[in-house]
Amino acid sequence: MKKELYHLTIANLDPAAPELGTKGKVVSGPCLHYSAPSAGGWGIVRTAMLVPESVLLFVAPHGCGRHGSVSSIQLGLRSRIRYMDITEEDLVLGSHMDRIPAVVEDILSCLSKRPPAFFICASCIDDLLASDYKNLCRRLTERYGMPFVDCHMNPITANSSMPPALNIQRSLYDFLCKEKNTRVPKDTLNVIGHFSPINPNGEFFSLMNEAGFEKVLQLSACQTFEQFMEMRHSSHNLLIKPFGRVACQEMERHLGIPWHKEFIRYHPEGIRRGYEGLEAFLERKVSWQSCYESCMDSISQWRRRLKGLRVGVGIGVNGSPFEIAMALALCGVEISFLLSDAIMEYEWESIAQLKQSFPDVPVYTSYHPSMSMAEAVPEEADVTIGFSASYVCPSSKLFTLDADDQHYGFEAFTALLQGVEDALNSDISARALLYTKGLVV
């Protein structure tokens, strides 16, 4: 007899429930979290390479270095990344820290042009040893007159107050804070926290332009380091994903740039409230009303096309699986199951609404050991959103909705529904996509 997969239902989810453990983890108690050695995607090294023209030195044992090297080749980043192997003897004696300056000198001497920015990336072993990479970067910055910034590949800190996703974004924007030239405030808006440029066909850019901003600046859209440095002169920061919170705090502290969070949402009412919150923060008129009306007018059409469709939503989607489920339910979609490893504070509002319509929908988690005992969840779905949902429901059609495609504003609602409909008519292989997107190394 097969053991039932551990799960909670939507009705069971409660901020005070002991089943949620610490930091909202959807588990029944302490569980090991398996960090797959083949994992790719938007890891630390790839994210660091968002800083244009930068170079990265990865200081790590053979296994970590090999993984990073193969990943960088798959993603076309190999020419900008260098590796320094460290041995067991290095770690015992700490001698590898003494060798890094000479390795940096060798790298710079081999490059035809000195890079404007240099990352030194440490692995979890150095973090466990408390190796002082910040002081090392400070000394290298003084020596070469160019900014050196530390970053850390450390999955052990995943459930700490500074997990890898927050730490790497802090490192990215640290270059703005380190710049010595005088900051000259400009009427531009920075968007922080995401990995790929926001879809330019959405209404967000035109609304910001009408609100008086000369430009909307995004790190992922910058082609040169000089363009990236323009972000330090912006008048406001808009945080659209939680990963950039510490970066925004640091820019406010060092550069005086105020920030406001309005995370990616797909439900029209959530998007509307987001624009209202943005208006209050910017103290400017944002003319979102006609976009909202068009969005609401389209719901009846989407209901005719999608009503009764069974959809499962997984971990790793570009947004909250609970909020995405609410947006889908608005158009008559049946929610088959959800996956979530940890519930963030802003997601409880969507959970409260889901309890009214879908109290019995199961919520699974990859943290629990029982998930490794089954090939699939018992629920069926026509479409699954996110690779994790597709993995546990292999008969479904896949809509990735990942960080490679960034939507924001009312355009995100349309993109979500169109993506679900397109997935029904797609024969795309989830396995092939895993390798195409560099999610498996």
Entry pTM: 0.92
Q: How far apart are CA 360 and CA 356, in angstroms?
A: 10
pLDDT for 261: 97
Q: How far apart are CA 133 and CA 104, in angstroms?
A: 13
Q: Are 193 and 169 in contact (CB under 8 A)?
A: yes
Supply the DSSP symbol for 49. Answer: T
Strand partners, 190: 217, 237
First to last CA, the chain: 35
User: In order of start, what are the domains of the chain with their CATH numbers?
Assistant: 44-152 (3.40.50.1980), 186-282 (3.40.50.1980), 297-437 (3.40.50)
Nearest CA-CA partner of 221 in 202, 199, 201, 244: 199
Q: How far apart are CA 192 and CA 390, in angstroms?
A: 29
Q: What is the mean pLDDT of each run of 10 residues along the chain (441 residues)?
A: 76 74 55 62 87 95 78 82 91 91 96 96 90 96 96 82 90 94 93 96 97 97 97 98 96 97 97 97 97 97 96 94 97 96 89 94 86 86 94 92 94 97 87 74 61
Q: Are 410 and 291 in contact (CB under 8 A)?
A: yes
Q: Are strands 334-339 and 362-364 parallel, antiparallel or unpaired?
A: parallel
* Whole-number CA gyration radius for the chain: 23
pLDDT for 17: 66
Tokens 């069971």 correspond to 12
Q: What one-letter code names the amino acid at 63?
A: G
Nearest CA-CA partner of 289 in 276, 302, 270, 303: 276
pLDDT for 162: 86
Nearest CA-CA partner of 411 in 259, 324, 292, 312: 292
Q: How far apart are CA 243 and CA 191, in angstroms?
A: 12
256: left (phi over 0), alpha (psi -120 to 50) or beta: left
> What is the strand order of the sheet 118-123 is part of?
81-85, 55-60, 118-123, 148-153
Strand partners, 22: none
> What is the strand order of the sheet 234-239 is part of?
215-218, 186-192, 234-239, 259-261
pLDDT for 27: 57
* Pure H helices in 298-374: 299-306, 321-329, 348-357
